[in-house]
Amino acid sequence: MACQAAVIGLRAASTKQLLVSRNQLARVSPRRWLNLQEYQSKKLMQDNGVTVQRFFVADSASEALEAAKRLKAKEIVLKAQILAGGRGKGVFDSGLKGGVHLTKDFDVQVHLNKLECRGKVSLTTKQTPKEGVKVKMVMVAEALDISRETYFAILMDRSCNGPVMVGSPQGGVDIEEVASTTPELIFKEVIDIFEGVRDDQALRMAANLGFKGPLERQAADQIKRLYDLFLKVDATQVEVNPLGETPEGQVVCFDAKINFDDNAEFRQKAVFAMDDTAESDPLETEAAKYDLKYIGLDGNIACFVNGAGLAMATCDIIDLHGGKPANFLDLGGGVKENQVYAAFKLLTADPKVEAILVNIFGGIVNCAIIANGITKACRELELKVPLVVRLEGTNVQEAKRILSESGLPITSATDLDDAAKKAVAAIPKK
């Protein structure tokens, strides 16, 4: 069960779920997390001695043709670079199927004209919005035959108080399905954070993955190098699927996903400088500058809260009373007035917003700071939509005095239920 829980935790590290009603589950990806394109992750691996396919990146047909010539490979693969999985089964809005193309004739001009670099067409996959994502560059890589595929990952496991290795001889497939149907094929090794990956652990994992003879030692070496990378870049997860072997006797990391600890940004400036925000919602990107957690939704009532749990409860109760949340905005704990002002600026920039609900429970947060930020934002931004405020906790009486003496049209609420009802009622009837 521990192995299965660790595997299931892999996906939990990259996808969060937000409950917006008792009957509806909206999946959202927290865009403020570091997003790297495939070629960037592979470059990190390559620079740290991990074996990957030889590759170049191109944003034009001429660059791709030059890259293909430099590779001098028997076969090349062209892969559209977007921050989404399922590219191979994706569809371009031009009608072309597949964001991954193999070719042996080096007629990359034809393939690139189809893939359309520089943001000319969009690729839609199971993980993108319905309108797809603009493709601005492609990876031109050496195509290698794979004789066998395995799965390998290193991740932080709360139950083990540190990193663990998880592997399976069944790679190139959905690892959760493997864990569910054949849990005996999931292998786990707990890593001593002070000692690191021991030789016997790496060799045992390589053997469990099915590598034999000289390949076992080669796979163990790759495992240790992946752990070195895991530590070096402050990763929370390095997942390789597949970790494959070729007919020529090479162990190669064919595809990888790396998740990073956002708290380590101060010492990983080079890595975080690679963050690709081009595909992110501009509001979410702007919010991250002020350390605000913002996720856009489809409704018309903006939610301005502190704490993820309170944010989910606020969204849910708005829906319960017949409204629809327009966003998920979490201020966090150490709030400053400028963050409150920035939050209001973000909320009012969304044309869908017809009312704003502020729901603050002041534990660490000083309610008076929130109140001062609210009154400043209302005056300077000339707020045009109804504003409902519910404050509770630290310095709440002072906060209520600030709001009541401001002379601004702010509707106060006694509790969350009252606040949600008033916010829904404030929406103009159409």
One-letter identity of residue 304: F
Q: Which of 216, 239, 245, 354 is catalytic?
A: 239
Using an 8 Å Cβ cutoff, are 357 and 323 in contact?
no
Annotated binding-site residue? 364? yes
363 is annotated as contributing to ligand binding: yes
Q: Which of 39, 151, 227, 341 is catalytic?
A: 151
- Diameter of the chain by CA atoms? 80
Q: Is 427 annotated as a binding residue?
A: no
User: What's the alpha-carbon Rg for the chain, to the nearest Å?
Assistant: 25
Query: Distance between CA atoms of 166 and 8, rounded to whole angstroms?
Result: 11
Active site residue 151: yes
Q: Determine phi and psi for 391, rounding to 5 degrees.
A: -120, 140
Instruction: Please give the Cα distance from 411 to 387 (Å, whole number).
Output: 6
d(CA 153, CA 186): 11
Helices 61-71 and 108-115: angle between axes, nearest 10 degrees: 140
Asked if 239 is an active-site residue, the reply is yes
Is 87 a known ligand-binding residue?
yes
Question: Does 203 belong to an annotated binding site?
Answer: no
List the one residue out of 388, 358, 383, 354 whose CA is nearest residue 370.
358
CA pair distance 421, 318, nearest whole angstrom: 7
- CA dist., res. 21 & res. 5, Å (int): 27
> Annotated binding residue at 255?
yes
241 is annotated as contributing to ligand binding: yes
Q: Please indicate if the annotation marks 93 as binding a ligand.
A: no
The answer to the question of whether 390 is labelled as a binding residue is no
Binding-site members are 53, 86-88, 144, 241, 255, 306, 363-365
Catalytic machinery residues: 151, 239
Query: What residues form the annotated binding site for GTP?
Result: 53, 86-88, 144
Binding-site residues for substrate, in ranges, read 306, 363-365
Annotated binding-site positions for Mg(2+): 241, 255
